[in-house]
């Protein structure tokens, strides 16, 4: 389209005026715009209750994962927050608990047992079966060798002092009870709990 100088000035002038009016606040009318608030990201996630992995306070947490557990959908944890129905924390969490999501997805997170052979220099990943069998075997051997049934005075004591157990910190009363029973029923006396991380 050929434009004369006059027409060109007219067109650019009108454009400039419209632009200025728009910038001065007459612009919104008739413009299609998206809704404002960020969509709620947990709308159809699966909510799972669990206990925080950190300290012995054992706060209740809610784990939110993608998908509704349909067969073809693989769950992935996208958000973790406090469980308001849990009597310990009633929804609150400490800074570490609030950041649990990044532990779940941390590339350095330990996901399988690791084993360093006697004389070996490197840890290697092993199966749970291997690890549990190996632990059970070593415990049995040590217990058979060093179990003390009677003390010097001849009193029955049934002690196993050569192996100890350090229990986890985030144990509920129920888990702690069971852990205690397992350890003590073996006669284990070197037994402690990691109360704080």
Min CB(105)–other proteins separation in Å: 11
CB of 78 vs other proteins, minimal distance in Å: 9
From 1, 34, 74, 106, residue interacting with other proteins (rule: CB under 8 A): 34
- Residue among 58 and 97 whose Cβ is closer to other proteins: 97
Using CB under 8 A, which residues numbered 79 to 118 contact other proteins? Answer: 79-82, 84, 89, 91-99, 101-102
Buried b (16+ CB within 10 A) or exposed e, 96-127: ebeebeeeeeeeeeeeebeeeeeeeeeeeeee
CB 167 within 8 A of CB 179: yes
4 counts as binding other proteins under rule CB under 8 A: no
**DSSP states along 117-168:** -TT-SS-EE--HHHHHHHHHHHHHHHHHHH-EEE-TTS-EEEEEEEEEEEE-
Q: Does 38 bind other proteins (CB under 8 A)?
A: yes
Report the nearest approach of other proteins to the CB of residue 51 (Å): 16
- Could you say whether residue 39 binds other proteins (CB under 8 A)? yes
Count of residues in contact with other proteins, rule CB under 8 A: 40
Q: What is the distance between the alpha carbons of residues 117 and 18, in angstroms, rounded to a whole number?
A: 78
Query: Structure tokens of 171?
Result: 């144990």
Q: Which residues bind other proteins (CB under 8 A)?
A: 17, 20-41, 79-82, 84, 89, 91-99, 101-102
């Amino acid at each position: 389209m050929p434009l004369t100088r006059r027409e060109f000035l007219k067109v650019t002038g009108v454009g400039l005026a419209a632009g200025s009016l728009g910038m001065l606040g007459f612009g919104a009318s008739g413009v299609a715009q998206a809704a404002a608030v960020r969509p709620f990201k947990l709308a159809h996630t699966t909510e799972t209750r669990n206990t925080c992995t950190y300290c012995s306070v054992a706060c209740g947490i809610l784990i939110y994962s993608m998908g509704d557990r349909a067969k073809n959908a693989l769950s992935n944890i996208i958000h973790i927050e406090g469980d308001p129905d849990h009597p310990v924390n009633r929804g609150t969490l400490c800074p570490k608990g609030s950041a649990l999501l990044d532990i779940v997805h941390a590339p350095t997170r330990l996901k399988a047992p690791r084993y360093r052979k006697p004389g070996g220099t490197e840890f290697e990943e092993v199966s749970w079966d291997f690890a549990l069998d190996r632990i059970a075997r070593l415990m049995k051997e040590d217990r058979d060798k060093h179990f003390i049934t009677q003390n010097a005075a001849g009193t029955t004591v049934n002690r196993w002092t050569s192996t100890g157990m350090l229990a986890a910190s985030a144990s509920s009363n129920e888990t702690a009870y069971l852990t205690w029973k397992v350890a003590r029923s073996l006669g284990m006396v070197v037994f402690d709990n990691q109360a704080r991380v």
